[in-house]
């Protein structure tokens, strides 16, 4: 299965606080980006989200106690068994793919240099999708979808339905939001 086929709701629950896990489970989102947790509780978070038939992507850069190594990715794949990972680090994308996990490359678009570097990284490590932040730049989203030919997820600073629609109209596959009130837009 690829990420395009996974998306049922174009709103992705980007869970930044453990208290929001229940809201994600009750939302119309079928994909969760897990940006909270630690070595002690992450397995339970994944189990709860999986029991709600959600696809779970663990953001390795935010999980307390995880190192950025090949063995850490191997452990996550074999023990936690999420759908995939999210990271800003291209070497971890390669490790995840070797372990059979899906991988989302997160890119911060702070200037044109960052846009170009993001394009190069995506082409070299071949993630399953690219998440761009901030997601409020329809022209850049359109440019990236034409340049990298990978599913694009817009995230960051999106706070209204109009922001979501603008990102989707520009070519984004889906939109990730850390705001639980956005998770039920039914898109």
Question: pLDDT per residue over 117-144, tens digit each?
Answer: 999 999 999 999 999 999 988 999 999 9
- Which residue range is the domain that position 8 belongs to? 3-182
CATH of the domain at 149: 3.20.20.70
Residue 98 falls inside a structural domain: yes
Q: What pLDDT score was predicted for residue 187? A: 85
Give domain status of residue 172, yes or no.
yes
Number of Cβ within 10 Å of residue 136's Cβ equals 17
Q: Look up residue 143 and give its DSSP letter.
A: H
Residue 100 lies in a domain: yes
pLDDT of 81: 97
Closest CA to 41 of 25, 61, 19, 26: 19
Q: Does residue 99 lie within any of the structural domains? A: yes
Beta strand extents in the chain (DSSP E only): 11-15, 31-34, 55-59, 84-87, 102-108, 129-133, 152-155, 174-177
Strand partners, 59: 86
Q: Which pLDDT belongs to residue 186?
A: 86
Identify the pLDDT of residue 65. 92
Instruction: Answer yes or no: is 187 within a domain.
Output: no
User: Residue 10: inside a domain, yes or no?
Assistant: yes
Q: Mean pLDDT score of the chain, rounded to an integer?
A: 95
Asked if the structure places residue 118 within a domain, the reply is: yes
Give the confidence band of 1 by pLDDT, cuts at 50, 70, 90. Answer: confident
Q: Does some domain include residue 92? A: yes
pLDDT digits (tens, 9 = 90+) for 50-107: 999 999 999 999 999 998 899 999 999 999 999 999 999 999 999 999 999 999 999 9
Count of structural domains, the chain: 1
């Amino acid at each position: 299965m690829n990420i395009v086929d996974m998306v049922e709701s174009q709103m992705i629950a980007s869970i930044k606080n453990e208290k929001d896990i229940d809201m994600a489970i009750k939302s119309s989102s079928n994909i969760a980006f897990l940006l909270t947790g630690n070595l002690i509780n992450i397995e339970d978070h994944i189990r709860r989200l999986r029991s709600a038939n959600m696809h779970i992507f663990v953001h390795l850069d935010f999980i307390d106690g995880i190192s950025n190594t090949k063995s850490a990715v191997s452990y996550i794949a074999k023990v936690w068994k999420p759908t995939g990972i999210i990271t800003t680090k291209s070497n971890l994308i390669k490790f995840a793919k070797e372990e059979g996990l899906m991988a989302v490359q997160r890119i911060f678009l702070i200037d044109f240099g960052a846009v170009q570097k993001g394009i190069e990284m995506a082409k070299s490590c071949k993630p399953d999708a690219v998440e761009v932040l901030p997601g409020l730049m329809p022209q850049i989203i359109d440019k990236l979808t034409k340049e990298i030919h990978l599913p694009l997820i817009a995230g960051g600073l999106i706070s209204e339905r109009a922001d979501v629609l603008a990102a989707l109209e520009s070519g984004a596959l889906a939109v990730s939001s850390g705001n639980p009130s956005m998770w039920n837009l039914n898109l």
